[in-house]
Every structure is written in structure tokens, then in C-alpha cells.
Structure 1
Amino acid sequence: MAGITSADVARESGVSRTTVSYVLTGRDGVNISAETRRRVRETAIRLGYAPSAAARALRTGRSDLVLCLLPDWPVGPVIETLLDELADGLSGRGLSVLVHHGRGSRPLTDLWRAVTPRAVIGFAPFAEDDLLAMRQAGIQVLGTLGEEHQPQPDLPSRSQLEIGALQVRRLAERQGARIGYAWPPDPRLEVFARDRLLGVQRACSELGLPDPHVLPVALDVPAAVTAVRAWREQGVTAVAAYNDDVALAVLAGLRAEGLDCPGDCAVVGVDDVPAARLAAPPLTTVSQSIEVQARYLAALVLADLDGSEEKPGHPGHGLHLVERESA
């Protein structure tokens, strides 16, 4: 039945609309008998009525949404895992995650005013005027590290630098290692690739290794073969790849050239995607422990909603090397 309202539920149940609202929103501290609560819920189910999220937001000034703002990034296994874990962590409190991809020129103000979220989680720095407006509206604002915004976004990310360093430290165990860096094909990933490459370069310098030989590697065999041949000409014996997808392309290029991994060339990826375990050979990679980061973000949101003065401590970046046969 279409157009069912709380008035219909109230009339069928023989109670007031206020009572219906109290029962269906789970409000505590109201003296309503168990029988009345049961009758209202059963009537709502029979009529197919669900409370309007928009109406609830108007009454309370807040919705049950946590708004996640993603820049124009490609969404792969890492982001999917983070969002899935975050949604799981918040669902127990009746909160839902709404994801907005930052494509186009729509002002952020239009978005958060339309949905009136409980909290906003930004995966990139907020503009100062947006941050101020959301805080004045009573919205909890978080960055991906828990801080309200990153005040110096042009500085390299410590976690991304460490990813590159972990790759090099593993590859440098190879006698006389000459390292190549496999750059990703998607220009939207440049902000991460730049910092990871800087970590690789710094680690090479610290270990007395030559600068890495950087080549773009598209996700197809011919492009990977071209890169592998160029690296062979430069004497490269170990490749740090931007992520596991790029590393898998490098492995395909090595196989197509009849080269052995890790015998002729070792390879280390990033992210520990499921396919990394199934690669030939299984791929050594750097895990970012995304599940831990997602649980931390969920804990921050819930601590604020509870009015807790003691916030959960940051768990660290959780980076660690997953050793397999490719390195």
C-alpha cells in the first residue's frame, strides 16, 4: 500500500501519532505498555510503514548518516574494504554510511545541508570555510587520521613514505640490487605514487643504492613487457610496484619474457589484495591493515556521539611486509 503515514498506523492501532513516533523510534523513558508497543509495531509491519529518515532529520536536526567524502580516486579493494568495515562498525548504533565521490564542481555545503549528517569523514583536506561551516552546524568532522583536517597537505605522507621504504628494505637484501619503480597508469593516483616513490628514493639513498629506474606500467601484458625490457637494459633486478595491480602486471611481463621471479627479478607490491596470494609466484607485498584504520574511524565517531572526553588512540598506520615467493 502506497502513501502510508504514521497517522494511518496510529488510527489502526488506536493510539496517538506521538505514541507511534515514540514506539518506532525506540525512545526510552516514556511510559508505554509492552502490549501497546507490540500492537504499534505489528500494525506498522502489516501496513508497510517505515519512519521517514527525512522527517526524523527535520525533528532532530540530524540524520542517521555518516558522510564519507572521497576525492576523485579509483575505487579498488582497499577503499572498498575500508568502507565496508566502517559501515559494519557503525551499523550497531543505527548509523549508515553515505559515500560521496568528489567529482564535478558541486559545493560541499549543498551536500551536507541536504543530508544533515551526524558526522563527516574526509579522505582529503577540507577547505577552511567548509570546515568552519560544518562545525558551526554541530557536525562532527574527521580526517582519515582522526584530526579535523590536515593543515599541510603539500607535505609528503609519512605512511606513504614508509610504504616505499619497506619495499626497498626487502628488495635491498638481494646482492647488488638495482631497483626499478613501476608507476601506476591512472593519473588520479599520482598523489600517492609520488610519496611512495619518494620513500623508495630516500631508502635507496640511505642504503647506498642507485636511484630507482622509474617506468609507467599499464595494466596489460604488452606494456609490462616493454617496461621489463627497459629495466633489463638498465640492469634492474628488483621492482617496487605502486600497488599489487601494477605488480601483477610486472609479473605477467616477466613471464612473457621467459624470466624467473625472483631469480631474474624480484617484485614487491602494496595492499595485499586477494589476488596477490594467487599470483605466480605469490606476491610479496606491503599491507596497510585497512580494517584496523576503519575500526578506529568508527570508534572516533561513536566516542563523539557518546560525548566521551577520552578519544580512542590512533592505532598507527599498521604497515607490515607480507613475505611471499616474489621477493
Structure 2
Amino acid sequence: MGTGIGKRVTSTDVAREAGVARSTVSYVLNRTPHQSIPDTTRQRVLDAAARLGYTPSAAARTLKRGRSDVVLCIVKPWPLGSASGALLAELTAGFDAHGLTLVTHIEGTGVRPIEAVWSDISPAAVLSYTPLDADAERAMRRAGVQCVAVLFAGEPDGSARFVRPDVRIGRLQAEHLIAAGHTRIGYAYPEHVSLRDFAEPRLEGVQTACAEAGLAAPEVRTVGLEAESASSAIRHWRGLGEPVTAVCAYNDEVAQALLAGTRLARASVPEDLAIVGADDIPAARLASPPLTTIAIDHAAEARRIVSAVTSVLREDAAPETTDPADLFTTVVRESA
């Protein structure tokens, strides 16, 4: 069915082509939840839109509702690895299922300030890995951002703010080593200062597990991603009056640096030094020896985040209440 050369196809054209009401077209193409539209009708609308080459106007929806269908995720300039990439991929798919688009913005020098980004996008929700400035958060809410959620840092505070308990990761690492009979434990802290928001809770978990077992606090050393840095830490640990026999590494990359460092320090794993990583990146199982690590269920993690955000946007549903402790599993391999 033609609509004239140069004329933009509208939802009215699609409704006429499909033989349905314009509201039905809107419900189908915007994937509006809780609408009981028969599958045959839904398919007829989709087929009509495809034949006419119709695409909904994002700008029009933004103007009408005062917000876009974008979820803006603010990320600090961290060294992003496969674990971060896996979570962002799961979040992208999860929000897409609700008709929302995840846009990631990495803060840093030389890029537009976050205030300019969110004001231009008019997002439905803003996610931040770390707490936002109070004035910035108030400005977002005044501008119509319905949901501002802080991920993985701070304390729970309302339906749209929650924590991934990285403390649990450190606790599981230490508990595994303590159960294996180790009584002097080290902690390999990451060199990159921006990772402090994640490293501190993981270290806290190790400290808590050691204290509860009646052991000395973990011996902390900063370890860079070079064999020389790692070997220096290993020599320090092994040279103590009561040598460290097992180490909780901040993540699998730091753990792999330790594996390289043991060769320079002429130490064997796990005989001289047991090592536990975190994140269970693909390379962990390929290490020599393969790394014992803490795996994170990124799919379940993303479902919790998406559920929390969409429940606020819909104002008609409770978020998923999965116990966040269930996100973590100790994967036992040969390094510890």
C-alpha cells in the first residue's frame, strides 16, 4: 500500500494496513507490557509495519513522555575485562526484552561531562557503578529521570538502589583456603587505583573470614600485572616469620600475574603458595595450573538489575528478590 513519495509512514498508515486501531499498533511496536493482544494480531501489525517500512520515531516518543527508552549506564575509566563485558552484554539483552536500550558512557578526561550526556538523552533510568553526587542525582530526578540506581557500592537505600556484595567474594576465597588448612593468608590488591571500589569490599570479606577463624589479618600487598611485581610480593610473603602459604587475589588477572611471579620467585603452586582468583574469566581454566576462582552468575546478576529498574519504571511490579549471595560459586581447580 503506497503512501506517496517522500511522505513519512506513520502509525496511522500501519493501523490502516493491518486493519487494527492505532493504539494496537503502538502497543505492539513499543512492546507495551500487560496488553492482551492475540499473537495473530501482533504478527499482522509487524508484517504491515515491515511492508510499509515503518519505524517508530524515538524523538516523538521522547517528546510525548518526557523521556526516551534509554537506560544510561555510567562507568568509571576502569580497565574493563571479560567479566565486565559479560555483565554489560546480559544487561543489554535484558533491557532490550523490555523495549529499553542500554547506552554505556565511560567517564574520563576529554569526553563530555555526564551532565551533558544525560540531559541530551533524557534517559528513562540512569545506572551508576558508584554513588552519584547528591546534587547531580537530584537534578536527574527533577529532569524526569524515573529511576536512578547505584550498583555494587554503598548500602541498599530504596527499591532502585542495591548492592552486589563483593564482600561475599572475598569471604568465599578465604573460606576455601582456611578449609584447606591454611592459617596465614595474603591478599593481592590491584595496582589500578580506580578499582578500589571493588577491591576494598573483597578485602573486607577476606579479613572477616580470617577474623572469624581466629587467624591473623591477611597480609596485603599491591600486585601489578607484571611478573616482577608479583614475584616481589611473593618473596615478601614467603620471607615473613610466619610465611604466607595462600593468597586471595583481587581477580583472575591478578591471580595470573601471581602465577607468573611464582616462576621468578622459584615457588610452586599450590605446594608453596595456593592462589584463589575471582570472576572465573575464560583464561582462568587455561592457566598453569588452572585457577581456583569465584564464579559470578552474570545472567542472574543482570536479571536482578533489570527487574529492579523496570519495576520502578512500570510502578506496578515488585523487583526480583533473588538472594544476591546465590550469585557466587567457588570453582575448585588445581591452584588451591
Structure 2-normalised TM-score? Answer: 0.79
- Aligned twin of 1:294: 302
CA offsets, 1:132-173, max 9 Å, x none? 33333152222327855999x9xxx88233322222221123
- In the aligned structure 2, how far is the partner of 1:150 from the partner of 1:35? 37
Equivalent residue for 1:139, pick from 146, 153, 162: 146
Query: Aligned-pair distance for 1:249?
Result: 0.8
**Which range moved further: 209-218 or 127-136?**
127-136
- Aligned twin of 2:12: 19
Query: Aligned-pair distance for 1:243?
Result: 0.7
**What amino acid is aligned across from residue 312 of structure 1 in structure 2?**
E
- Check the 8 A contact 1:125/1:149 in 2, yes or no: no
Between the two proteins, the alignment pairs up a number of residues equal to 308
Query: Aligned-pair distance for 1:239?
Result: 0.9
Over the matched positions of the two proteins, sequence identity in percent amounts to 38
- Check the 8 A contact 2:189/2:249 in 1, yes or no: yes
Look up the SS of the partner of 1:201 in the other structure. helix
Look up the SS of the partner of 2:261 in the other structure. helix
- In the aligned structure 1, how far is the partner of 2:287 from the partner of 2:84? 21
- Check the 8 A contact 1:82/1:290 in 2, yes or no: yes
- In the aligned structure 2, how far is the partner of 1:176 from the partner of 1:298? 40
Equivalent residue for 1:161, pick from 164, 167, 170: 167
- Check the 8 A contact 2:170/2:203 in 1, yes or no: yes
What residue ranges of structure 2 are gaps of 5+ in the alignment? 16-21, 28-34, 36-40
Corresponding position: 1:99 with 2:131 = no
- In the aligned structure 1, how far is the partner of 2:126 from the partner of 2:141? 10
- Aligned twin of 1:111: 117
Query: Aligned-pair distance for 1:248?
Result: 0.8
Corresponding position: 1:210 with 2:216 = yes
Look up the SS of the partner of 1:11 in the other structure. coil
Structure 1 254/150 Cα, relative in aligned 2: closer, same or farther at 3 Å? farther
Query: Aligned-pair distance for 1:72?
Result: 3.1
Corresponding position: 1:284 with 2:292 = yes
Equivalent residue for 2:229, pick from 212, 219, 223: 223
Structure 1 135/14 Cα, relative in aligned 2: closer, same or farther at 3 Å? closer
Look up the SS of the partner of 1:182 in the other structure. strand
Query: Aligned-pair distance for 1:300?
Result: 2.5
**What amino acid is aligned across from residue 334 of structure 2 in structure 1?**
E
Superposed, which structure 2 residues align to 1:52-71 within 5 Å? 52-71=57-76
- Aligned twin of 2:31: none
- In the aligned structure 2, how far is the partner of 1:267 from the partner of 1:103? 33
Over the aligned positions, Cα root-mean-square deviation in angstroms equals 3.4
Equivalent residue for 2:195, pick from 185, 189, 192: 189
- Check the 8 A contact 1:71/1:103 in 2, yes or no: yes
Query: Aligned-pair distance for 1:273?
Result: 0.9
Look up the SS of the partner of 1:100 in the other structure. strand
Structure 1 295/289 Cα, relative in aligned 2: closer, same or farther at 3 Å? same
- In the aligned structure 1, how far is the partner of 2:5 from the partner of 2:265? 75
- Check the 8 A contact 1:292/1:315 in 2, yes or no: no
- In the aligned structure 1, how far is the partner of 2:44 from the partner of 2:168? 60
- Aligned twin of 1:72: 77
- Aligned twin of 2:32: none
- Aligned twin of 1:320: 329
**What amino acid is aligned across from residue 84 of structure 2 in structure 1?**
I
What residue ranges of structure 1 are gaps of 5+ in the alignment? 1-8
- Check the 8 A contact 1:126/1:149 in 2, yes or no: no
